[in-house]
Structure 1
């Protein structure tokens, strides 16, 4: 494995100050109006939650269902100024898109061969970035629209935006007859914290109002409700999401999967991260064991994270660090061990924990109603 070999050979590690890194979710004890909910979360140095997938919805539903209240506010609101916008903020003026949004839908634009086509934003495709020198690059990795934009803002400038017919022809030519994302988003709704989320699983209940909540009267999904109602508040803080992958793989296979589809195998920086992982697994009823990004040098015996960081937080069962020659060389976490870490044979096939850097629409790093994709 490339990263493991690098760490073992160079013995170079990153040290970071203690901080809250992994996302945590908190539920208010009393109800608030939607406007008061924003202030409630801000007072606690957090924001009203953005839901990114079914697991987020399940945890939000579970937390609400444990109370006597029927609903909890989430961050999605019907407040976008324009239905169609380029990801870099430039105005959409061409008439080449044929997308027509209905009933709270969200679609993202792709080019397929010579045609513009609207797709479900959670589809995975190659994508085209605009580089810092304004040239274009087609990235062959398969990602959702939000993941594609995050890649472009980190490594280039942004997903490509198109302002003329001539520019459209150039992008199509650069696309090599592939189906790939461009930077055009069609959406009437926005998450309050500017999170880039393709989750749009609407409940059939409730009128078509401008605010949304999680309701115990429907399966884990988005429920439209009047903004003047009172509900509990779901707040979140942290810049990295925990992703439980239930497929069973060896440690190295898990490493490659997380690297390709998310950000990396999960690593735990401190007690706050450890608590976030424990809470997440409890809410999802995932008992484990699950692989962590924890590996031991077979030569020197020290443990390190696959993110090239040394292990500083003592999360081992009984605070006993497994030592050569008796130890296995990969680390996992399980409810049976009270969520302490244990060493396991790296060849075992286990579920695992990835982490994913949260993508933002305004990046500092720069069902009914998920429309069926018409893309190839």
Structure 2
């Protein structure tokens, strides 16, 4: 599983992504909403690596040179996902299946964390080494330029004359052109990179936390977590609460707490010895949490995002190139299903 289409927040993340990118263009988690580019995570695109591209294209690809381009979001391209759990170390997966940007985002969110996010020039450079020669989607889109996880894009690596506006609201990276970015209409099929974030130090706990952006009932969320990880997240202490908040996003999500008769217990069967309730209706039987750490009661039939946990050993970040052509939206969906998201690049 990953989190989202990959986001690129820096040159460092760009370099990490290039280390797994193949010799073709792939979707990243960057897209344009209105006149602004942002990552599929919601981050603004503060770091970009554009090459020339049409302002009428709205989804982004990258390639093995680290260059970004703009494509129609309906194009079919490979894509890169990232995965993210506690302590926000990331790994990248290139998806060599052609998808539109939206399909790539959906894929990354189903299987990883999100489309790749590039936070710095160093990330952009690292991703360039792993990238394909063909352009691929990253998690940047125009809203203004934000990452697929909702974060701002402080690092950008646009190619000359990029972004160039119009309907090109998603972002490609070109690994053959120094990892430069171009905006592109989100409907083109491109490869893409997903990322997943994992524990980065030996002090990380032996469980990791995976935010899942799919909307499900409490029961369906529990089934999903049990199928792919260990279970819906449990919160046994203030320390675990803080670890979960480190990866929680700015929305309400299911946790593994529910009421059986008059007693609240975790889906693992453990009693709820630690709680963090705010006011809630006593006739509601399933629990949610939010990014502030507050818990509330909801109808178990409500449709919400959720958080899973996995009992795991310490692992470090990696990017996964998906060599299946998908649109940006398909790439994001794939990365979010199987990793964390489309890759995010936040620095050089």
TM class, shorter-length: 0.3 to 0.5
Q: 1 or 2 for the larger relative contact order (CA 8 Å, sep ≥6)?
A: 2
* The structure with more strand, counted as a fraction of residues: 2
Give the alignment's TM-score, normalised by structure 2.
0.38
Whichever of the two has the greater Rg, that structure is: 1
* The structure with more helix, counted as a fraction of residues: 1
